[in-house]
Structure 1
Amino acid sequence: MALSAACAPASHPAPAPRAIAPHLLPPIYAEVYGTAKADRAISRAQWTLISRCMKEKGFTYRSDDPAEAGAEDRPKPFGLESLEQPVATQQKPGVEKPGSVGKDYVRALYGDESDRITAKGTAMKVSRPAKGCQAQAEVHLLGEKNRLRWMKTRIGLYEAELEAQSRLQKAPTYTSLNADWRTCMKRAGFEFREPMQVLEKLPAKATFSAEPSARADVACKGKTDYLRSAYTGLAAAQRKVLEKSPGLLTTWKTLLRRQYEIARQVLAEPSPTPAVARPAG
């Protein structure tokens, strides 16, 4: 299916962009960012395990209950998809609340600062604590060997996302689609190279529906069928990139399933009661 579409005359009513059906989402987005139920259970189980571990060491885990945290949203590489305001991003589970904590607390949670495990990808690396309550919780859910495997898999998927995006940018059909969108925006009185520029130039706390450039962007995406066409192209690019690492998504789904199954077992157990915090040392 071609990515380009003719821009409708500016005098016609602007149709809203069609919502992206789940089956049209690029495969990495669908598998990594489309698992909210499992993610919530895993985050709550991890919080429960860390809280128990910290209690055994004489501390109260100073972190928001992940039930109060917002789910991670999928990437939106083409800017605005509607004029609806996004839900305010809340603190992610497992992130400590602000405040002063002692060295003993930090050591109990994260272990020795110099003792870390590192996963490397093609162009990036990520490290996490090797010991401490945080690491113990992750090992409980994943297993000792699978913890590093999970980190490497996530790096691989992230790098695949970037490579697919780069491939899409060079595709003639995507270039044509952006040209149609630019023509439509120019008729509306705006000069932008591509849709992400619109979002980047909006005021920090902008109300999308009140911003003329945002309204024009969403309208032009509707007229050019931009989102469906662009996501179709990105899905094809991601599938092409994943051909080089055919086991990447399979490994991700297997390890996610394992964590979810164990998380459900953890959450079926009684929740920890707060311990009396030991003086910070």
Structure 2
Amino acid sequence: MKSHRATTTTGIAAIGLAAAVLLSGCGAAPDGRPSGRHPAASSREPSPAESRTLARAEQVLISRCMDARGFRYEVTDVVGASGDGARSFPYAVDDVAWARAHGYGGREERSRARALEVDPNQRYFHRLSPSARVAARTALTGASPVGLSVKAPTGVTITASDEGCIADAERTLYGDLEGWFRVKVVTMNLRPVRETRVHRDRRYTDAVGRWAACMRKAGRPYTSPDESRQAAARFGESLPAPEADAAGTALAVVEATCATSTPLARVSHALDHSYGERLREQYREELAERWRFQNAALPMARRLVPPSPSASPGKTEPSGGSHA
């Protein structure tokens, strides 16, 4: 799978936030049958605002758990903050105006990296002694990734600990930790399956051939969007940031122009939609069950995370833990 996405982050803060992130669904909610686990919960897909509330509630619970175990953990959205440049183009950059403004998103990725450097959990984690750092990681994620195991639609088996504060937070919020982990892993891995299927489709590869011919005419002899992005990444390795951004932006504009002037943009969007619909139907029960888990957890999440109009991405707020 080839895609243009935000840089992956590591460390105690990234682990905690990644565990709390709830993807917003893949489309309209299926007509799922009532679940014995949540017979009264709706299978309506939660709104983005509701998903953010759930994610933040999980962070509050993680913070309280870590505090009880003698460690500090602040609730902050800084690692997951995103701006106008946070867009994904898994098949080709196909928005010329966006490309002119953002290139391949390098400036935004550097901004996210800088935000991570000042994240209070990252700073706290790195200030700990090696032994205390191990203890903090164990408190957060469990001693080892065992206890939870699910085979994702990608074919990869995902494992996690059923101990530690992440597991405790999810168990508190969703009740059935194993059931929640199963539907979370399955539904969060539908997107890479969809993108892989599009990339392998003959209609997509034929469209890429037309795109490559356009690129050659423009003096950019790249055979695929992935190859042009690799070229843009090399600019960052050999040029100062401003020059690399300018060179990358110029290349991204050509990529987008060729994507929209050939069938590539139209074909990739159509295939993405078609494969997405098939996957939604194939995994309709898992999607409906995930949304039932989330809707059943919303009352608790709202008690943990009262509305805060002043809250903004990147701003650390009181977590509800005694340390905050």
TM over 0.5: yes
Q: Kindly report structure 1 stretches of 4+ aligned residues shifted beyond 6 Å.
A: 92-95
Match of 1:137 among 140, 157, 169: 169
1:109 equivalent in structure 2: 140
Alpha-carbon displacement from aligned partner over 1:226-271 (angstroms, at most 9, x marks no partner): 3343112111022224443332322233333334443222113984
Larger radius of gyration: 1
Q: 2-side partners of 1:242 and 1:219: how far apart? A: 31
Code of the aligned partner of 1:258: A
C-alpha contact (below 8 Å) 2:93/2:256 kept by paired residues: yes
Give the Å deviation of 1:197.
1.9
Q: 2-side partners of 1:137 and 1:170: how far apart? A: 39
Percent of paired sites with the same residue: 19
Alpha-carbon displacement from aligned partner over 1:8-35 (angstroms, at most 9, x marks no partner): xxxxxxxxxxxxxxxxxxx96558xx96
Match of 1:190 among 196, 220, 223: 220
Matched, 1:252 2:290: yes
TM-score by length of 2: 0.62
Matched, 1:213 2:251: yes
Aligned pair in 2 of structure 1 residues 188, 119: CA closer, same or farther (>3 Å)? same
Match of 1:156 among 186, 189, 193: 186
TM-score by length of 1: 0.70
Match of 1:56 among 68, 85, 89: 68
SS in 2 for 1:247: helix
Q: 2-side partners of 1:110 and 1:260: how far apart? A: 24
Aligned pair in 2 of structure 1 residues 256, 262: CA closer, same or farther (>3 Å)? same
Q: 1-side partners of 2:68 and 2:220: how far apart? A: 60
2:272 equivalent in structure 1: 234
Q: 1-side partners of 2:263 and 2:120: how far apart? A: 40
Say which structure, 1 or 2, has more relative contact order (CA 8 Å, 6+ apart). Answer: 1
Matched, 1:65 2:76: yes
Q: 1-side partners of 2:149 and 2:284: how far apart? A: 23
Matched, 1:76 2:89: yes
C-alpha contact (below 8 Å) 1:121/1:155 kept by paired residues: yes
Q: 1-side partners of 2:249 and 2:276: how far apart? A: 33
C-alpha contact (below 8 Å) 2:259/2:265 kept by paired residues: yes
Structure number with the higher helix fraction is 2
Aligned pair in 2 of structure 1 residues 267, 225: CA closer, same or farther (>3 Å)? same
1:24 equivalent in structure 2: none
C-alpha contact (below 8 Å) 1:165/1:234 kept by paired residues: yes
Aligned pair in 2 of structure 1 residues 71, 140: CA closer, same or farther (>3 Å)? farther
1:279 equivalent in structure 2: none
Alpha-carbon displacement from aligned partner over 1:33-56 (angstroms, at most 9, x marks no partner): x96433432232122112222223
C-alpha contact (below 8 Å) 2:93/2:259 kept by paired residues: no
Q: 2-side partners of 1:209 and 1:258: how far apart? A: 49
Gaps of 5+ in 1: 1-26, 277-281
SS in 1 for 2:70: coil
1:20 equivalent in structure 2: none
Give the Å deviation of 1:77.
0.9
Gaps of 5+ in 2: 1-23, 29-45, 308-317
Aligned pair in 2 of structure 1 residues 79, 255: CA closer, same or farther (>3 Å)? farther
